[in-house]
Amino acid sequence: MKMSSRRRRCKRQLIKFTQHITRFITGTLSSDNEDEEQESMTERYHPENLEQLQSQTHFSRQELQLLFRGFKNDCPSGVVNEDTFKNIYALFFPLGDSSKYAQFLFNAFDKDKNGSLSFEELVCDLSVLLRGSTEEKLNWAFNLYDINSDGQITKEEMLDILKSIYDLMGKSVHPRLKEEAVRQHVRMFFQKMDINQDGVVTIEEFMDCCQKDEDIMQSLKIFDNAV
Amino acid sequence: MAAGVAAWLPFARAAAIGWMPVANLPMPVAPSNKNKHQDELIILNVSGRRFQTWRNTLDRYPDTLLGSSEKEFFFNEETREYFFDRDPDVFRSILNFYRTGKLHYPRYECISAYDEELAFFGIIPEIISDCCYEEYKDRKRENVERLMDDLEDNKDSKLPNMTFRETMWRAFENPHTSTMALVFYYVTGFFIAISVITNVVETVPCGYMPNQRDIPCGERYTEAFFCMDTACVMIFTVEYLMRLFAAPSRYRFMRSVMSIIDVVAILPYYIGLVMTNNEDVSGAFVTLRVFRVFRIFKFSRHSQGLRILGYTLKSCASELGFLLFSLTMAIIIFATVMFYAEKGSSSSKFTSIPASFWYTIVTMTTLGYGDMVPKTIAGKIFGSICSLSGVLVIALPVPVIVSNFSRIYHQNQRADKRRAQKVQKARLSRMRITKSGSSSAFPHSKRNGLNQSLELTGSLEEDQQLKKTTSLLESQHHHLLHCLEKTTNHEFVDERLYEQGYLQTALQNFPSQSPSLSSEEGITGTCCSQRTKKSMQPLSATHTHSHTHNLQELSALHIQCGEQQPLNTSRSSLNLMSDESGSLNCKSSGLVTTAIISIPTPPSNNYRASPDAPTPPNPDAPPLPNPGTDVVKISAL
C-alpha cells in the first residue's frame, strides 16, 4: 500500500516538473491551474426547521430565533468544529487555559461523535441544561464526567475533569494552586459519591448522592433564566 | 469581549452546570435579568439614511456608544428611532463592525474623518482588522507627518523671546528668516564655489617654463592660490565655529553629517600648515589635498535636490546593498566560468580569476571596453550569457530606488509649497476675514441698538425689525453672548481697539483686588465706576484662591484661544466706540465698556480706562498673595 502511494507521488512530481520545464522553454506565462485540483470542501449544513426544534426543546420561538442568529453569525457554515468551540470558550476564560475543558464539553455535546456540533445538538443540550429536570441535568453532568462513556466514572477520569476545571482559573489564584489540592478534591468527591467504595461511581450512585445533596440541587437551578 | 461572545454566553453558562456536582460550596445567586425584553429591531437614522439592526447586535460591545445607554440621548421620541447627525458612509463600516466583529477601513475615506467618527462612536482604532490595518497605519502616519510639518512651520513664524544663540541657529537653518542670514548663506555658497573652482584650476597646465615642461597653474602661481585657499578656509572655519556655538546640542551637531563634512573640508589645510617642513610626510600631505574635494558636499546645505538625493540613498540602503551583493555573486560566478573556459586558449588575457573580474564587471555593466575578449567558443557563449544577466541584475533594484526618490521628492515639494510664506499668509488672512465678518455681527447689532431692544420689553415691531436684519440663529447667538456679558458683569471689547489699548495700558499698572480699588478714582470717571467697583468688590472679598481660580479659568479661556491660530478662534469683537456704546449699554448709567486685561508679568489687573477719565499711572501694587495670575483676555466665543 505504502509503496504504491509513494510511487504515485513520485510520478505526480515528475509530471509537474516536466510541465514546468516545457512552460519555461516555451515561455507560457504561469497561471495557477495547479490549484484547480484542490477544491475546498466546505460543509454546508442546514438545521431542521423551526417547528421541529420547538417541539424538541423547551425554548420558545423567539428564543430559538435569537440563539440561531447568534450561532449563525459566528459559524456561517452551520456547524461548530472543535477548534472554533475551543476558541469561543477561551474568550470567556482569558486567564486560564480552557482547551481541555472545552474538549470535554465538546465531546459531551457531540452526541453522534462526528467531530462537529450542529445547531440542533447544541440547542437540545441547552434546553436540557437550562430548562430540563434535575435528573436530565445530572444525567448530562454524568455523561460529561464519563469520558470514555462506559457508564462509570473512574478516579482518573475525575482527575482529568477536575484538572481541566482548575485550569480554567489560570495561574494567578489565591491561595496558590497545588497539585495536591486537585487530588484532594477527587478524593472528597469519591468519598461522597462512591457509596459501595468500589473505586468507581456509577450513574445510580451519582444520581442518588446528588439528589440527596441540597446544595447541589439548589445550584442546578441558578441558570434557569439564562436566555 | 469579541464578537458573538454575547451570543455564546448562554452556552457557557449552561455548560457551567457541569461544575455543580463536583463543587463543595453553594453557588452564588445569579444576577436577575430585569429588563428582559424580546429582541427587537431598532432603527438608526444617520443623517437620513436608515439602518436597522437587532438590539442584541448592538449590545455586543457595551463599551461603545451604540452598545451602551449613551445612545438613549439620541433617541427621537416622535419617530421612535435613534438619530445621529453623522456621516452615513462611515457609519456603514461602524455598523458592520457590530455585525461581523471586524472593523474595516474603507480606502476612499479620509483618515481624519474616519478617526473622528470612530472617536464619536467610542470605538478604538486598534481593533481594525488585519486586512485593513496596514493601510490605516500608513495613512495615519502620513497625516501625522503632515501635521508635524505644519506645526514646525508655525513654530518658526513667531517666537518673541529667543536668545541670541537661538536666533543665530534659526538663521543658519532657515536662511529665509532674515536678511543677514540670507547674505551669509549666499556668501558661503559663493566661497564654496570659489574654493572648488580653485582646486580644479590648480591642476590645469598653464604656461611653459624655460625647461619646456608643462606645469600646472598651482605651481606657477603658488602664492595666489595659497591666498585664495587661506581665505576660503578662514571663512569656512568661522562658519563652522559659529554653527558650533549656536547649535542647541553641540554634541549632536558635532556628530551630524554636515559638520563632519565641514571638518574634513578644512582639516587638510591646517594639517598642511603644520607639516610643511617635513619632506617625507609631504607625500602624504599631497594626498590629503584630495579631501579638499569634499568641500563640494558643503553645497548640500544650499541645494535641496542634493539633500533629497542623499536622503534617498540612505533610505534605499537595503536595496543598494542587495544590488551590490547580487552583483558580487554574479561577478564571482562568471569570472570563474570565464577563467576556466579561456584557460585553454593561448595568449589569453584571462590569467587568473581576479583578472577575469575586470572583464566580468565591464561586461555586466554593458561597458565593453574590449581590452579583454574571450577567444574560445565556450568563452564567447558564457560571455554573452554574462552580459545578458548583467542587464537584468542591475535593472531590478533600480525601480525601487526611483520610486523612493520620487516619493521623497514629492513630499518635499508639498512641504515647500506650504512653507512658502506668501501662500500661508494669504490663506490665513482670508480665513480671518470670513471669521471676523461673522463675529463682528454682535457688536454691529449692539451698535444699532438692537440688543437694547432685546433687553427692554420687545414690542412687536421691534421684534419684526429684529427678524428682518438678523436671522433667528444670529439673534439667538447674540442673545447668548449678551447673557454671558450679564453673567460675568464684563463686556466684550473690539479686537483692534483692544490691541491698541493693550499697548497703552501695558505701561500702566493698576492694583487689583485690593480694597483700595474701591477708592480708586482713576478707573472710570463715569458713574459706572460704581458698577465696576461693585464687580470688583466681590472679587476682592472672595478668597484669593478662588480668585485665581476665576482668573485662571478665564485665562484658560484665553490660552486656549490664543495658542491656536486666529482662524480657530472667533473673537466676538465689539466695536468699542466708547461714547456710543456708553450710551447704549449702561442701563443704570453710561458705562464705558471695559475689559479685564491682566498682563502676564506684573500680577495685576488692568482696567482699560475710558479716554475721558483721568488715569494716573500708579506704581506697582504691593505683591499679591497669589502672584500666579495669567493673562486674561475676555475674548469670548
Gap between the terminal Cα atoms of chain A: 53
The last residue of one of the domains, among A132, A154, A189, is A132
Which residues of chain B have a CB within 8 Å of the CB of A120? none
CB burial class (10 A; 0-12, 13-18, 19+) of residue B77?
A: exposed
Same domain, A128 and A139: no
Same domain, A70 and A93: yes
The residue ranking higher by pLDDT, A43 or B602, is A43
> Is residue A176 included in any domain, yes or no?
yes
Q: Quickly list DSSP for A65-123.
A: HHHHHHHHHH-TTSEEEHHHHHHHHHHH-SSS--HHHHHHHHHHH-TT-SSEEEHHHHH
Same domain, A113 and A153: no
Q: Say yes or no to pLDDT of B625 above 50.
A: no
Kind and range of the H or E element at B501?
A: helix B495-506
Enumerate the H helices of B101-209 as residue ranges: 111-120, 130-157, 164-173, 179-201
Q: Which A residues 174-213 touch B at CB under 8 Å? A: 185, 188-189, 206, 210
> Any chain B CB within 8 A of the CB of A153?
no
Q: How far is B55 from chain A (nearest CA, A)?
A: 11
Same domain, A111 and A192: no
Q: How far is A143 from chain B (nearest CA, A)?
A: 10
Closest CB from B20, B24, B54 relative to A141: B20
> Any chain B CB within 8 A of the CB of A129?
yes
Question: Picking from A101-115, A192-206, B397-411, B569-583, which range would have the lowest pLDDT averaged per residue?
Answer: B569-583
CB pairs under 8 A, 24+ apart, for A152-160? A152/A200, A152/A201, A152/A202, A153/A193, A153/A200, A153/A201, A153/A202, A153/A206, A154/A199, A154/A200, A155/A186, A155/A190, A155/A199, A155/A200, A158/A186, A158/A189, A158/A190, A158/A201, A158/B22, A159/A183, A159/A186, A160/A100, A160/A104
Q: Is the dihedral of CA B422, B425, B430, B433 positive or negative?
A: negative
Same domain, A139 and A218: yes
> Is residue A118 included in any domain, yes or no?
yes
pLDDT at B51: 92
Which residues of chain B have a CB within 8 Å of the CB of A71? 7
Mean pLDDT of B473-491: 55
Over residues B149-201, the pLDDT tens digits come to 777 666 655 566 678 888 888 888 888 778 888 898 898 889 999 988 988 88
Q: Say yes or no to pLDDT of A122 above 70.
A: yes
Closest CB from A62, A130, A219 relative to B27: A219
Residue A122 grid coordinates:
447544541
Q: Say yes or no to pLDDT of B430 above 70.
A: yes
- C-beta atoms of A219 and B20 within 8 A: yes
Q: Which amino acid is at A135?
A: E
Using alpha carbons, list the distances in angstroms from residue B468 to B436, B465, B471: 22, 5, 7
Nearest to B450 by CA among B488, B494, B481: B481
Note whether B41-157 and B174-302 share their fold.
no
pTM > 0.80: yes or no: no
CA dihedral (B149, B154, B159, B162) in degrees, to 10, reads: 10
pLDDT band at A87 (very low <50, low <70, confident <90, very high): confident
Asked whether the beta carbons of B175 and B182 are under 8 A apart, the reply is yes
Same domain, A145 and A185: yes
> Is residue A192 included in any domain, yes or no?
yes
What is the span of the domain harbouring residue A87? 52-132
Nearest to B346 by CA among B385, B369, B379: B379
pLDDT band at B613 (very low <50, low <70, confident <90, very high): very low
pLDDT at B535: 41
Which residues of chain B have a CB within 8 Å of the CB of A161? 22
Mean pLDDT of B50-79: 86
The last residue of one of the domains, among A80, A109, A132, is A132
Question: Picking from B115-119, B466-470, B476-480, B609-613, which range would have the lowest pLDDT averaged per residue?
Answer: B609-613
The last residue of one of the domains, among A104, A132, A160, is A132
Give the CATH number, domain containing residue A168: 1.10.238.10
Closest CB from B19, B33, B56 relative to A165: B19
pLDDT at B480: 57
The CATH classification number of B174-302 equals 1.20.120.350
Query: Dmax of chain A from CA atoms?
Result: 83
Task: In whole angstroms, give the CA distance from residue B317 to residue B400.
Answer: 11
B2: nearest CA in chain A? A91
> Is residue A46 included in any domain, yes or no?
no
Gap between the terminal Cα atoms of chain B: 42
pLDDT band at A132 (very low <50, low <70, confident <90, very high): confident
R_g (Cα) of chain B, nearest Å: 39
- CATH top-level class for B41-157? alpha beta
Q: Quickly list DSSP for B48-86.
A: TEEEEEEHHHHHT-TTSTTTSGGGGGGEETTTTEEEE-S
- C-beta atoms of B21 and A71 within 8 A: no
| Average pLDDT value over all residues in chain B | 70
Count of CB contacts below 8 A, A vs B?
107
Same domain, A128 and A143: no
Q: How far is A135 from chain B (nearest CA, A)?
A: 12
Which residue, among B11, B19, B95, would best test binding to A if mutated, counting the most A CBs under 10 Å from its CB?
A: B11
Asked whether the beta carbons of B267 and B273 are under 8 A apart, the reply is no
Using alpha carbons, list the distances in angstroms from residue B289 to A193, B236, B292, B294, B551: 99, 16, 5, 10, 67
Q: Say yes or no to pLDDT of B4 above 70.
A: no
> Is residue A70 included in any domain, yes or no?
yes
State the total domains in chain A.
2
Three-state secondary structure string covering B531-598: HHHHHHHHHHHCCHHHHHHHHHHHHHHHHHHHHCCHHHCCCCCCCCCHHHHHHHHCCCCCCCCCCEEE
CA atoms within 13 Å, Cβ hemisphere of A43: 14
Residue B351 grid coordinates:
590569467
CATH 1.10.287.70 fits B312-427, yes or no: yes
**DSSP β-ladder status, A200-202 and B41-46:** unpaired
Using alpha carbons, list the distances in angstroms from residue B294 to B273, B290, B297, B472: 19, 8, 5, 71
- C-beta atoms of B26 and A138 within 8 A: no
Domain assignments of chain B as residue spans, ordered by start: 41-157, 174-302, 312-427
Please enumerate in sequence order all residues whose Cβ is within 8 A of that of B420, keeping only pairs 6 or more positions apart, or say none: none
Q: How far is A220 from chain B (nearest CA, A)?
A: 6
Q: How far is A57 from chain B (nearest CA, A)?
A: 14
> Is residue A206 included in any domain, yes or no?
yes
Mean pLDDT of A207-212: 85
